[in-house]
A = this chain, B = another copy of it.
Amino acid sequence: MREAWIAPRMKDGVRTQMHYAKAGVTTEEMRRVAARENLSAERVRKEVARGRMVIPANIHHPQLDPMGIGLAASCKINANIGASALASDPQLEVQKVCISLKHGADTIMDLSTCDNTDEVRKAVIAASTVPVGTVPMYQIVQEAKNQDAKNIVIDDMLKVIERQAQQGVSYFTIHAGFMMRFMPYIAKRKMGIVSRGGSLIAAWMMHHHQENPFYQAYDQILDICQRYDVTLSLGDSLRPGCLADASDEAQLEELKMLGELTLRAWEKDVQVMIEGPGHVPLNQVEHNMKIERHYCHDAPFYILGPLVTDISPGYDHISSAIGAAVGGMHGASMLCYVTPKEHLGLPGPEDVREGIIAYKIAAHAADVARGRKNARNRDDAMSDARYAFDWNRQFELALDPERAKAYHDETLPQDAFKDAEFCSMCGPKFCSYKITHDIVDHFQQKEQA
């Protein structure tokens, strides 16, 4: 389907949604986003032109169903997948893609750091109907001499980026805003750098005593993004890795720099998101959302969590869903999930499911809190189904129907108690809904009398 939309644009030098939006052209991608978001196509076009919304849609990803990320759109979630050197199997990653799509991930990042990343990425993109993002730095290091970040050569770096663009990656995390002058801030921190990409760049900069290679090659990177319409996700190399480091100089100085890079990207019609923290005390989350909008000119904010405590390994999907929901309420446009395995190991398929559902909850809570049109409809339908003891409808409306049904049936098998007007929590005598039915009947009869 998308191939037909893209074909007429193949002669254009710049093929980004922002380019067309600024030129007053409403693309099919914009129309599709408008339909999905219950917005007018013109509103979507204006938001994309202004940089307040991105449509990450590489021209080489024909299976993609276009989606929009931005303040005017519903809050999105990203699922990170990817193989590591210690566990690499393309089929396992495709399985994670399927789980991610099934449970409602809006984008998928393939963060593989294994030897066969091209192969894994190809499989992931082919299996995905949502945009696929990457952190090209990982493959750049894999292909450097001795797989050592210090041996990265800028020309080779650009070749990897272009190859990934050709494969159909729709957004790149690029850590171009991490400057040499920020190094002293890092030494002051409790946790230093916790971004993998950021730390690899740091290693290169320390060794060569040269400015960030992504910053040096930023214009060439923008040129690649223009041709394939890859959205830039400007990475926060210096995101806080613990509560103690939140909202410090390192984080905020890099954020300001990302704002400057945003304007440079927009000049070339390249779409931009900004990546955000990390670990942030709950009382600082709102402020973090506001300063991003201020420094980065309303470019969509794509936040990782943030975790609101450091002491919950094994449950960091919960700690971070708290921060993510509050971030979403205060304007974050996409929430990058965290799984229960965060800080402990590589997530498996079940962790992916746990992470996604936790983040669907956070994003939905944010949409309701922001008063998005119709956001509460599904909650209201659930409440109606509860009130009517319609268990099957409740399972249908649940974010994870399978688990809801399984948990229900554990203590009160449907076969034994089909259409039971109670559940095992209270039993038939203590069911408040039944009593409410009587009250409502009473008042209805009174009104009719």
Chain B residues positioned under 8 Å from A84 (CB to CB): 424-427, 430
Interface residues of A in 100-127 (CB under 8 A from B): 113
Q: For A320, give the chain B residue with the smallest CB separation.
A: B361
B138 and A430 contacting across the interface, CB-CB below 8 Å? yes
A315 and B358 contacting across the interface, CB-CB below 8 Å? yes
Chain B residues positioned under 8 Å from A81 (CB to CB): none
A147 and B429 contacting across the interface, CB-CB below 8 Å? yes
A27-35, A213-221, A236-244: which one contacts chain B?
Answer: A236-244
Does A311 reach chain B (CB closer than 8 Å)? Answer: yes
Cβ 8 A contact of A361, one of B319, B348, B397? B319
Does A322 reach chain B (CB closer than 8 Å)? Answer: yes
Chain B residues positioned under 8 Å from A439 (CB to CB): 183, 186-187, 192-193, 202, 206
Interface residues of A in 283-335 (CB under 8 A from B): 283, 308-315, 317-319, 321-322, 325-326, 329
Cβ 8 A contact of A368, one of B196, B282, B348, B408? B282
Does A12 reach chain B (CB closer than 8 Å)? Answer: no
Chain B residues positioned under 8 Å from A319 (CB to CB): 361, 365
A191 and B346 contacting across the interface, CB-CB below 8 Å? no
Chain B residues positioned under 8 Å from A344 (CB to CB): 404, 407-408, 411, 423, 425
B243 and A376 contacting across the interface, CB-CB below 8 Å? yes
Q: For A441, give the chain B residue with the smallest CB separation.
A: B187
Cβ 8 A contact of A315, one of B202, B370, B400? B400
Chain B residues positioned under 8 Å from A199 (CB to CB): 431-436
B322 and A438 contacting across the interface, CB-CB below 8 Å? no
Chain B residues positioned under 8 Å from A345 (CB to CB): 407-408, 410-412, 423-425
Q: Given A313-B404, A314-B407, A376-B243, are A346 and B425 neighbors across the interface (CB < 8 Å)?
A: yes
20 A-B pairs in the complex with CB atoms less than 8 angstroms apart: A141-B429, A183-B443, A186-B436, A187-B443, A191-B383, A191-B433, A192-B436, A193-B435, A242-B380, A283-B371, A308-B361, A308-B365, A309-B365, A310-B382, A311-B364, A311-B397, A315-B358, A315-B403, A342-B425, A345-B423
Going nearest first, the 5 A-B pairs with the smallest beta carbon separation are A192-B436, A199-B432, A345-B411, A242-B383, A314-B403
